[in-house]
Structure 1
Amino acid sequence: MSVPSREEMYRVLEERHGTELQKKLAASSVAVCGLGGLGSNIAIALARAGIGRLHIIDFDCVDISNLNRQQYFPDQLGIPKSRALGDTLRRIAPYCEIVSDDTMLNESNIPKLLVDDDIIVEAFDKADQKAMLVNGVLEKMPFKYLVSGSGMAGLAPSNMIITKKVTKRFYLCGDGVSDVDDGMGLVASRVLICAGHQAHAVIRIIAGEYDI
């Protein structure tokens, strides 16, 4: 079967989301920083929602340990995550502009790499990387919207994961407590719930729903 046209896919999204919201989604650019359990699921949810431009960033390659919770396949082992996920996103949303960066974000390159993105999603695994990105965006790009994740490990009840507005443009998703070092690791279902919170926070921001 041939791929549906841009017009056909857009019309279906309009039927689901309404014309006004879909125009806003299609005009938006979102950066997903970190393409692991959070980031790969967030990017797929946003691609399916009809985001016009997705900027995906990660320096890592697909490893067998990723397959229990991240949106990769066994035949992608060893491939840079930015390239592997980019291929998947283009299959899901062929008319979405996918910009892939196989690089490590740091304090010096954050402003340059993220300059064209309306909303920045922090989806790193490690606490020091999370803090570096959050602090970098808040200090150097305070006009950007930032959605971060903290606390999704273990088997605690899913309803403990929430979205809260920290500042005018900074949103935090997770339970804020659980950590992979506490014993139980990252379980696909709970990581997916937190990723869903982050993706939905992005969509609500684009829709102008800032209260969360």
Structure 2
Amino acid sequence: MEVELKEMLDDLLSLRQSLSDPSLHASIDKLQSHVDHLTHLAKSVPVRRSKVKDMSAEVVDSNPYSRLMALQRMGIVENYERIREFSVAIVGIGGVGSVAAEMLTRCGIGRLLLYDYDKVELANMNRLFFRPEQVGMTKTDAAVQTLSDINPDVVLEACNELNQTWMESGVSEDAVSGHIQLLIPGETACFACAPPLVVASGVDERTLKREGVCAASLPTTMGVVAGLLVQNTLKFLLKFGYVSPYLGYSSLKDYFPTMAMKPNPQCSNAACLQRQKEYILAKPARDAAANAKMEAEASAAAADVPLHVDNEWNISVVDDSEQENTGGTSSDALPEGLTRELPSADEFPKHSTYGATDTAVDDLEDLRRQLDALNAD
């Protein structure tokens, strides 16, 4: 836009010089003033970066994906660029959902589908995402506005019936605890198997907001839960690490309970029961694939090929048994030229306990004689 405005100013200047009637110069000057004002406004608008066609691992300041692609270079993720192939739907753009959407956007997810019926209010400003100037906008519109500025490469636009895998999360009303949960139809519990409090009580969530009554909200708790949620999502999508079926968080005790959430065979949801049958029928093929994978991994391990033989970071992997068999070298040995202020436990003199034992026996005999003398009196 700045280029077009500059061309317009040049055209106005040329027009002013070509006009022989001085009475028209005032109108030209007024137009120039308006264009100057628009140019100033255009310069004050944040510049959005251009879209990046392919993710690159090149380590330069201008590459928005260099630190993400480093996960691939270090062998943590096999192919990080696959993240652009995935679509993630986020239902509820609140304290957790909005932060999760921002994290996924920064990670370069391919497509985000955002769902929320609510609008941004000043009461939402304790969250980590929304801004005061967005008050009155729908949360989805405000999210698209913010996320598009962060990463224009992400396309921004419900579930047993669709056989979709879901990551569910929640924060308690007292804002000091929360959880994340992996929902795989047929394999893990659905909302009907183990319903959240709102679902179990049959309450419409829209009626929970009442005058003078509100739940507590801490951006710290929501940030922690959102981080756990997105981390679990990335591990599931890119197939690295352990994907938690359920992970809780208690900020008061720094407690992170985890458990498996199996589906209920008597679930009231017909679609859930159907997915459970399909999961059981597919078990033989799934077990055979798992066994084949284990055998392949065992064969690869038998080859005894060390990890990271040659790498640009000069990282080497040391077997634990090698450290155990070094023998004689203390783990707390100091480099040459350094001395300890106090002697180590190994060097501390060990005194014989025989003398101390004899003294204790003598003292005991003396005490006994004194007691006998008192009894005799």
- 2:118 paired residue among 44, 60, 85: 60
Which has a greater percent of strand? Answer: 1
The answer to whether the aligner puts 1:95 opposite 2:157 as a matched pair is no
- 2:229 paired residue among 195, 198, 210: 198
Using the alignment, how far apart are the partners of 2:182 and 2:116 within structure 1? 26
Using the alignment, how far apart are the partners of 1:170 and 1:11 within structure 2? 38
> For the Cα contact (< 8 Å) 1:59–1:80, is it kept in 2?
yes
Counterpart in the other structure of 1:186:
217
Counterpart in the other structure of 1:32:
90
The answer to whether the aligner puts 1:154 opposite 2:174 as a matched pair is yes
Counterpart in the other structure of 1:3:
49
CA-CA distance at 1:203 after TM superposition: 0.8
Summarize the Cα distance change of 1:164–1:9 in structure 2 as closer, same or farther, 3 Å threshold.
same
Identity of aligned residues (%): 22
Counterpart in the other structure of 1:49:
107
Summarize the Cα distance change of 1:202–1:63 in structure 2 as closer, same or farther, 3 Å threshold.
same
Which residue identity is paired with 2:83?
A: L
- Which of these two proteins has the greater Rg computed from alpha carbons? 2
CA-CA distance at 1:80 after TM superposition: 1.1
Which residue identity is paired with 1:47?
A: T
> For the Cα contact (< 8 Å) 1:153–1:190, is it kept in 2?
no
Counterpart in the other structure of 1:141:
162
Gaps of 5+ in 1: 100-109, 111-136
Summarize the Cα distance change of 1:171–1:3 in structure 2 as closer, same or farther, 3 Å threshold.
farther
Which residue identity is paired with 2:70?
A: E
Using the alignment, how far apart are the partners of 1:166 and 1:56 within structure 2? 19
Counterpart in the other structure of 1:117:
none
Using the alignment, how far apart are the partners of 2:153 and 2:82 within structure 1? 15
Summarize the Cα distance change of 1:169–1:42 in structure 2 as closer, same or farther, 3 Å threshold.
farther
> For the Cα contact (< 8 Å) 1:32–1:43, is it kept in 2?
yes
Using the alignment, how far apart are the partners of 2:189 and 2:101 within structure 1? 19
Query: What TM-score, normalized by structure 2, do the two folds share?
Result: 0.39
- The C-alpha deviation readout for 1:55-91, integer Å capped at 9, x for no partner, is 1111221111111115111001001111111011011
Using the alignment, how far apart are the partners of 2:87 and 2:183 within structure 1? 22
Summarize the Cα distance change of 1:11–1:169 in structure 2 as closer, same or farther, 3 Å threshold.
farther
Summarize the Cα distance change of 1:171–1:53 in structure 2 as closer, same or farther, 3 Å threshold.
farther
CA-CA distance at 1:150 after TM superposition: 2.9
User: Which deviates more from structure 2 when the two are superposed, residues 189-198 or residues 75-84?
Assistant: 189-198
> For the Cα contact (< 8 Å) 2:90–2:112, is it kept in 1?
yes
Using the alignment, how far apart are the partners of 2:95 and 2:110 within structure 1? 22
Residues 158-177 of structure 1 aligned to structure 2 (within 5 Å): 161-165=178-182, 167=184, 168=187
- The C-alpha deviation readout for 1:79-109, integer Å capped at 9, x for no partner, is 111111101101111111111xxxxxxxxxx
> For the Cα contact (< 8 Å) 1:36–1:70, is it kept in 2?
no
Summarize the Cα distance change of 1:31–1:165 in structure 2 as closer, same or farther, 3 Å threshold.
closer
Using the alignment, how far apart are the partners of 1:60 and 1:155 within structure 2? 20
SS of corresponding position for 2:90 = strand
Residues 119-130 of structure 1 aligned to structure 2 (within 5 Å): none
Using the alignment, how far apart are the partners of 2:125 and 2:72 within structure 1? 31
Number of residue pairs the alignment of both structures matches: 166
- The C-alpha deviation readout for 1:32-65, integer Å capped at 9, x for no partner, is 1111111110100100111011111112211111
Using the alignment, how far apart are the partners of 1:69 and 1:146 within structure 2? 24
SS of corresponding position for 2:222 = helix
Gaps of 5+ in 2: 1-46, 55-62, 198-207, 245-377
> For the Cα contact (< 8 Å) 1:54–1:98, is it kept in 2?
yes
The answer to whether the aligner puts 1:78 opposite 2:136 as a matched pair is yes
Using the alignment, how far apart are the partners of 1:204 and 1:51 within structure 2? 13
Counterpart in the other structure of 1:132:
none
Which residue identity is paired with 2:233?
A: V
Using the alignment, how far apart are the partners of 1:211 and 1:2 within structure 2? 35
